[in-house]
Amino acid sequence: SRLESFIKSRSEWCISRQRAWGVPIPALYHRETGEAILTKQSV
């Protein structure tokens, strides 16, 4: 498929910086403990 070809031909894949398409990945942290928070409610 066209999307598969696009992904396979990318020279670099940096999910945290480049956002040419798609949905961002949430990165939430508790203010006091610094612990990562990822729940159905937060997403």
Distance of CA 17 to the CA centre of its chain: 9
Rounded Cα distance between 37 and 43, Å, is 10
At residue 33, the pLDDT reads 92
- DSSP per-residue string spanning 1-43: -HHHHHHHT-S---TTT--SSS-PPP-EE-TTT--EE--TTT-
Residue type, 32: E
* pLDDT tens profile 8-37: 887 766 655 556 666 667 778 889 998 888
Q: Is the pTM of this model over 0.75?
A: no
At residue 9, the pLDDT reads 83
Query: Which of these, 26, 25, 27, lies nearest to 35 by C-alpha position?
Result: 27
At residue 18, the pLDDT reads 57
